[in-house]
Amino acid sequence: MPREPKYTYSETFFSIQGEGRYCGVPTVWLRLFGCNFRCSGFLQDNLDDPSTWVLDFEDLDPSQYTSLQDLPVFRRGCDSSYSWAKKFRPMAPRRTALEIAHELRSLLPGLILQTSQIRPSQPSSLYWRRTFASAERDRRYHGEA
């Protein structure tokens, strides 16, 4: 039997959707590890000269921390550098989609699944939707609220 693929992610959290069709709806978020953007300009003194930019995460020693949640807030550059900088990857959880779906369900029973920048018909989106449906069936089977 093939092993279930595992996904590395930096966090799951609960918040209120602030944009788009589901604006105002209580939502849980899954931040997969490996954002491929590099938004390093936040709060830099001279936006026009990247050679002057200071990135707070670069000087941080990950061995001083036991989990991503313990890291300080990065003020300059991407404040979510912990979700893509390779030095933080060993600290990130790695779980199957079903395990992640259960974790998200525990944050907000009755959640709405929204996948970022993926059209609903794309295979990866369908995969996550099916996984959530499976988590929902498990939850009902075990009589959870």
Which residue ranges make up the site for ligand SF4 (CB under 6 A)?
Answer: 35, 37-39, 78, 80, 83
CA distance 111 to 108: 6
CA distance 38 to 43: 14
In angstroms, what is the minimal distance from the CB of 42 to ligand SF4?
7
Give 85 or 135: the residue with its C-beta nearer to ligand SF4.
85
Give 83 or 131: the residue with its C-beta nearer to ligand SF4.
83
Give 35 or 113: the residue with its C-beta nearer to ligand SF4.
35
Give 12 or 96: the residue with its C-beta nearer to ligand SF4.
12
In angstroms, what is the minimal distance from the CB of 18 to ligand SF4?
14
CA distance 52 to 57: 15
CA distance 115 to 29: 9
Residue 83's closest CA among 29, 27, 14, 8? Answer: 8
In angstroms, what is the minimal distance from the CB of 129 to ligand SF4?
23
Q: Are 27 and 114 in contact (CB under 8 A)?
A: yes
Give 38 or 94: the residue with its C-beta nearer to ligand SF4.
38
Strand order of the sheet with strand 6-16? 26-32, 6-16, 94-96
In angstroms, what is the minimal distance from the CB of 139 to ligand SF4?
30
Place of tokens 């979700």: 83
In angstroms, what is the minimal distance from the CB of 20 to ligand SF4?
16
